[in-house]
Amino acid sequence: MIKTVDKLTKAEAAKELERLAREIAEHDRRYHAEDAPAISDAAYDALKRRNDAIEARFADLVRPDSPSHRVGARPSEKFAKVVHARPMLSLDNAFSDEDVADFVARVRRFLGWKESDQLIFTAEPKIDGLSASLRYEKGVFVQGATRGDGSEGEDITANLRTIKDIPLRLQGEVPRVFEVRGEVYMTHKDFFALNARQEKEGKPLFVNPRNTAAGAVRQLDPAMTAARPLHFFAYAWGEASAMPADTQWDMLQTFKSWGFKVNPLIRRCESMDEILAFYRHTEQRRASLGYDIDGVVYKVDRLDLQERLGFVSRSPRWAIAHKFPAEQAETVLLDIDIQVGRTGKLAPVAKLKPVTVGGVVVQNATLHNEDEIARKDVRVGDTVVVQRAGDVIPQIVRVVLEKRPRGAKPYQFPYKCPACGSHAVRETDEKTGKEEVDRRCTGGLICPAQAVERLRHFVSRDAFDIEGFGGTYIETLFEKGLLKEPADIFRLAKKPEALDRALAERRAELSAERRAREGKDEVAKKSKKDDDSKLVENLLSAIEARRKIGMDRFINALGIRHVGETNARLIARHFPSIEAFVGAMESDDAAAQLNEIGGIGDVLAQAVKDFFDEPHNRKLVDHLLKEVEVVPLAAPKIKGSPVAGKTVVFTGTLEKMTRQEAKARAESLGAKVAGSVSKNTDLVVAGPGAGSKLADAQKHGVQVIDEGAWLKMIGG
């Protein structure tokens, strides 16, 4: 049984946050980087809600790789990179009227406002498309980019120029530099017309307007983008040399005067009643709008208040997305398939009779773990309710018990790994004595499923990012004995003939049926042989291009449990070189050294130490370091910030701003705000009523200043 958040122990919460961080990160990658979501919006939102609820209860367990810190996925290597001068962050979600009321209350509390103080919001439909940022210099469109991971996106300027809704030159007076942000989307009418043409020409049909629009703007050939009817709504901004208005509403009116399309449904709301009335009205009109929306966005109207409210991790405090309920449908559960993951986790996947839900055909669903199967009492042959999917894996909501066939038996979760036959066990938490929710294979490296998945992770986008080195190649080379550990990838250059032969054999096997259908053509055979040779050449070139790798990617690629992209970056910034890191991990106080890093907790530190305590892993790392050059990661710098990189503690009563606002301001300037004073503290800001923290500062010789000096230091 999956426990409710209020029943979780601290140890269970830590384990659950680790699972959620890993699972949500994978869904982010699929959605943002591949335009191929694997679960429904509702299922994704449910994961996020559970993560947020656990973090709210166990604030000290918030992970550095928490989904609440993270946006999107890394941009594709197909395009040049664009570093956003102002991050493109996403919004927190609300799923009920109560969530919206809580959001408004949080805004008032942060600002120190009373209920009687008028707080105006803008409300706008949330377009289901692809976010884009358009940079204008002296009124001329010079660069367009995707959101990417929020900090760095893909340069799709040429493709965006083909969209008629995007003006190439702005009208009227405009700032010297201004980035307009909004959503690229496709109307229902254009989508259906496009699919009609596809069907007439015997080509595959597109899944839905959102994926079609996203795929169109990420084409390598702009002519392909121009062939798709795309549109653009402007609703936000990034870098700006000057601001032409003081409110969100007036900014949108300015966008219209410059030549942009702004959603005509946007309204100003002066009360909760008006906000919720707009939501209800928009939800009723949803089906007749002619384009997809998945909710309503509320934003604090005054820009000076937006500036004060600022941001928390991945989202602004001054805006929230009020999501619509998910669509559902019934289908039959045909079977339950057990897949073995990179860490040995046995993951049950429901195989469904194909069903169309909201225009998307779905036939697989995740069942998470054996406790989830038991909780819902899911049995093969059952009729189940599935929730609207992105385009592959939806969420099973419940079983329709009245339609259960006679003789349907409770599902027995396997006790042996289907990949290698080793025992599959549920580990016991040493602190609580309770079983973990996941059952894992004990086979380790002898398990082909784990070995292949570990290698897949190694070459993946967030790790070594070896272009073109997909799962099929890894499986083939593993089966042929050419690939057993990561270092073997870089040794392939010494075995080009064996590589060529292995890939050619695999391609021949996979294409046998297709060749039988299309006939045997000698010219085609020769062309295929040439293609195989070119494939090997390209693959070896891609491998050679990754012999020099950033230290954060190197650490992430090792596949250490609990270490993801964010944690790897924290570790890489702490140690001056990979040699220093590896050497530190061989010392007796390795875990203690890791604990000194802000954001690294006991669980993660112990996991890293355990990894390096294993002789096989040390051997793997040593082999790899002989093949690649690891480049240290430079710490980020914030220009003009006098507190960047410093640890600051606030104590006592602040009179000019709330404690929450002071903390947010310090973090935005690159400082780390701590809750207690230690020898590592750089500065204490003390107001009236400062107590033990002031004494601790004096004990450790830490500089102490008052609020006025702090404001003068940071510039007001």
pLDDT tens digit sequence for 567-602? 888 888 778 889 989 988 888 888 888 877 766 777
Is the CATH number of domain 647-714 3.40.50.10190?
yes
Q: Are 21 and 65 in contact (CB under 8 A)?
A: yes
Which residues are CB-neighbours of 318 under 8 A, at least 6 positions away? 107, 299, 300, 305, 306, 309
The DSSP result for 283-299, as a single string, is HHHGGGSSS-EEEEEEE
CA distances from 476 to 272, 311, 470, 504 (A): 59, 46, 10, 10
In CATH terms, the fold of domain 548-631 is DNA polymerase; domain 1 (1.10.150)
Task: Reply yes or no on whether the pLDDT at 154 is more than 50.
Answer: yes
**For 472-515, how does the pLDDT look when each residue is reduced to its tens digit (9 = 90+)?**
788 888 888 888 888 999 998 888 888 888 877 777 765 654 55
Residue with tokens 């660069």: 143
By DSSP bridging, strand 647-651 and strand 683-686 are parallel
- Predicted local distance difference test score (pLDDT) of residue 637: 57
| Residue bearing the bigger pLDDT, 440 or 143 | 143
Q: Which amino acid would we find at residue 46?
A: A
Task: Reply yes or no on whether the pLDDT at 655 is more than 70.
Answer: yes
CA distance 691 to 655: 17
Known active-site residue 548: no
Q: Is the model's pTM score more than 0.85?
A: no
By DSSP bridging, strand 395-399 and strand 383-387 are antiparallel
**For 534-557, how does the pLDDT look when each residue is reduced to its tens digit (9 = 90+)?**
778 888 888 999 999 999 999 999
| Residue bearing the bigger pLDDT, 608 or 97 | 97
Q: Which amino acid would we find at residue 31?
A: Y
Mean pLDDT over each residue of the chain, to the nearest integer: 84
Which residues are CB-neighbours of 391 under 8 A, at least 6 positions away? 36, 37, 207, 208, 211, 360, 361, 362
Instruction: Tell me the mean pLDDT in the region 664-672.
Output: 78
* The two three-digit tokens of residue 356, written as one number: 């169309």
Residue with tokens 């208005």: 245
237-246, 619-628, 707-716: which range is least confident on average? 707-716
- Predicted local distance difference test score (pLDDT) of residue 368: 86
- Predicted local distance difference test score (pLDDT) of residue 547: 92
CA distances from 96 to 137, 232, 392, 575 (A): 41, 28, 27, 45
Secondary structure class of 54 (helix, strand, coil): helix
Residue/partner pairs of 363-369 with CB below 8 Å, 24 or more apart = 364/392, 364/393, 364/394, 365/393, 365/394, 365/395, 365/396, 366/39, 366/393, 366/395, 367/336, 367/396, 368/2, 368/437, 369/437, 369/438, 369/439
**For 183-231, how does the pLDDT look when each residue is reduced to its tens digit (9 = 90+)?**
999 998 898 889 888 888 888 888 788 888 988 888 878 888 888 899 9
What confidence category does residue 182 fall into, taking pLDDT thresholds of 50, 70 and 90?
very high
Cα angle value 404/410/411 (rounded, 5°): 115
CA distance 310 to 702: 28
- Predicted local distance difference test score (pLDDT) of residue 533: 64
Sign for the pseudo-dihedral over CA of 110, 57, 31, 561: positive
- Predicted local distance difference test score (pLDDT) of residue 516: 46
What confidence category does residue 526 fall into, taking pLDDT thresholds of 50, 70 and 90?
very low
Share of the chain above pLDDT 70, in %: 88
Residue with tokens 């891609």: 542
Q: Which amino acid would we find at residue 225?
A: T
**Pick from 488, 492, 493, 486: which is nearest to 460 by CA?**
486
Task: Reply yes or no on whether the pLDDT at 271 is more than 90.
Answer: yes
For the chain, report the end-to-end CA distance as a whole number of angstroms.
Answer: 52
**For 55-94, how does the pLDDT look when each residue is reduced to its tens digit (9 = 90+)?**
889 988 888 667 775 555 555 557 888 999 998 988 989 9
Q: Are 424 and 347 in contact (CB under 8 A)?
A: no
Alpha-carbon torsion angle 98, 99, 104, 109, nearest 10 = 100
Task: Reply yes or no on whether the pLDDT at 446 is more than 70.
Answer: no
In CATH terms, the fold of domain 81-323 is D-amino Acid Aminotransferase; Chain A, domain 1 (3.30.470)
CA distance 679 to 697: 8
Instruction: Tell me the mean pLDDT in the region 674-693.
Output: 82
- Predicted local distance difference test score (pLDDT) of residue 382: 95
Q: Are 230 and 163 in contact (CB under 8 A)?
A: yes
Tally the residues of the chain: 716
Question: From the candidates 7, 48, 81, 126, which is the catalytic residue?
Answer: 126
* The two three-digit tokens of residue 143, written as one number: 């660069």
**Pick from 104, 281, 260: which is nearest to 178 by CA?**
260
- Predicted local distance difference test score (pLDDT) of residue 598: 62
Q: Are 567 and 65 in contact (CB under 8 A)?
A: yes
Task: Reply yes or no on whether the pLDDT at 119 is more than 90.
Answer: yes
**For 294-304, how does the pLDDT look when each residue is reduced to its tens digit (9 = 90+)?**
899 999 999 99
**Domain residue spans in the chain?**
81-323, 466-544, 548-631, 647-714
Q: Are 224 and 218 in contact (CB under 8 A)?
A: no
User: What residues form DSSP beta bridges with 143?
Assistant: 135
In the chain, helix, strand, coil percent, each to 5? Answer: 40, 20, 40
Task: Reply yes or no on whether the pLDDT at 699 is more than 70.
Answer: yes
123-132, 388-397, 471-480, 643-652: which range is least confident on average? 388-397
Secondary structure class of 560 (helix, strand, coil): coil
The answer to whether 81-323 and 548-631 have equal CATH topology is no
**Pick from 495, 507, 609, 521: which is nearest to 561 by CA?**
609
CA distance 509 to 698: 74
| Cα 333 from chain centroid (whole Å) | 30
